[in-house]
Amino acid sequence: MRQKDGPGNLESQRRPRVVVVGAGFGGVNAAQNLSNLDADILMVDRRNYHLFQPLLYQVATAGVAPSDIAYPVRAIFRRQKNFDFLLAQVNGVDLEQRKLLTSRGAVDYDYLILSIGGETNFFGLDSVQENGFDLKDIDDAENIRNHVLLMFEKARHEEDEEICRALRTFVIVGGGPTGVETAGSISELIRLVLVKDFPDLDVGEVRVILLEMTEELLPGFPPDLSEKAVNTLRRKRVEVRLKETVTGYDGESISLKSGDSILANTLIWAAGVRAEKLVDSMEVQKGKQERVVVEETLQVPGHPEVYVIGDAAFMEHDGQPLPMVAPVAIQQAKTAAKNIRNTLEGRPLEKFVYKDPGSLATIGRSAAVARIGRFKFHGFIAWIVWLAVHLFWLIGFRNRLFVLIDWAWDYILYERAVRLITSHPKSEQHDLNLVEREDKR
């Protein structure tokens, strides 16, 4: 079948083409906001699904299945007539020629919205990058799940006490929401769920450690909520260590700036993010975290046809860079879409103004901290708000239903159903490491 509007043959088209890179919160919302425009919208992503990143740590801790927080892009846009999708890796942008360079060839654009998100920043700590885990996509999350469960399987039949201690020590680096949520969730996975799988397990010998470089958790939250988070985590038996900086990790021992070291076979790095690597190839001005500096209209200076939104865009708000969170991406998507419409219809462009909806972080069962406008709260009510907000923003009724059932399962029965060790690239490697110890017997 001959395709009439593949990415290759723009020549034959008259309508302008808006290319949206990235199927995250920014990209999806931008494309949706362009639904009635007399233009062709082409979304490009290397994944065929939208990922609900805020719940990724629950995949990593065996709470929900990957398919419950992922939703096919084509299903989201089924009813949008001017939409098409290209599954491809984006390798660069030719700003002068207005071409997106992808693994499936060059794609011409009239307008470009880059909503490419962020990636983990290891700040040059190669040993941590090599031997630790990070948590940006489904593979990362499944790798962590596989690895954590594998540590307990290994420890079960291990007689060397020191080896056992390292197998049962889980270190999370970074006191932002991801680090806090992951630490709380791993601790509960072990103390409430795995303890039933391993009746001989002494939970007193399991350590979950959260390391934070600064003096407080959850930067950006009001100080009293940060303190509440520390207390709640400690009550959930997470060792919170502030003002600790990691300098290296060989897979066995974590070196700290203080001179201390921690024996642990698991390090999860949640201590840094930066704009996605694609920006490195672009000759544009960058701000902190390699984010692309944009005009107040979200355009790239000198390239009014190019918009950058979300984690990859640099813009200040109250003297601080905008946080790398979904609400920023969603609001910017709206402004970028509107400005493309304004341009096509000859109207002046709008400036982006961020409306901070507040901050939320959960710390496990019945515990969360929340700031909404001027209101601050914590504990059970904050947790209910957290649940409701996350269910609301999930795409698709089935995903909401499945996540809700899994949450109920966990809450009522202390069960996490997805305790599966599957074979994924990184974990496979660990799998084969299943110690060869015949000589010792």
Site for a second copy in 120-139 (CB under 8 A): 138-139
Q: Which of residues 379-408 bind a second copy (CB under 8 A)?
A: 396, 398-399, 401-402, 405-406
Catalytic residue among 11, 96, 153, 181: 181
Closest approach of a second copy to the CB of residue 67, in Å: 4
Cα 30 from Cα 334, distance rounded (Å)? 6
Which window, 177-185, 221-229, 322-330, 415-423, contacts a second copy (CB under 8 A)?
415-423
| CB distance 230 to 211 below 8 Å | no
Cα 244 from Cα 239, distance rounded (Å)? 12
Among 35, 153, 213, 242, binds a second copy (CB under 8 A): 153
* CA dist 304 → 162, 191, 314 (Å): 60, 54, 16
Total count of residues recorded for the chain: 441
Q: What angle (nearest 5°) sits at the alpha carbon of residue 25, between those of residues 55 and 230?
A: 40
Q: Which of residues 61-100 bind a second copy (CB under 8 A)?
A: 65-68, 70, 72, 74-75, 78, 84-89
Which window, 214-222, 252-260, 307-315, 414-422, contacts a second copy (CB under 8 A)?
414-422
Amino acid at residue number 271? A
DSSP 331-350: HHHHHHHHHHHHHHTTPPPP
Amino acid at residue number 405? I
| Token code pair at residue 276 | 């996605």
Nearer residue to a second copy within complex by CB, 50 or 338 = 50
Which window, 5-13, 127-135, 240-248, 301-309, contacts a second copy (CB under 8 A)?
5-13
429 binds a second copy, rule: CB under 8 A: no
Cα 58–chain centre separation: 11
418 binds a second copy, rule: CB under 8 A: yes
Active site residue 181: yes
Task: Count Cβ neighbours within 10 Å for each residue of 25-59 and write b for 16 or more, e otherwise.
Answer: bbbbbbbbbbeebebbbbbbbeeebbbbbbbbbbb
Nearer residue to a second copy within complex by CB, 66 or 176 = 66
- By CB under 8 A, how many residues form the interface with a second copy? 78
Closest approach of a second copy to the CB of residue 13, in Å: 14
Closest approach of a second copy to the CB of residue 256, in Å: 25
Question: What residues are labeled active site?
Answer: 181
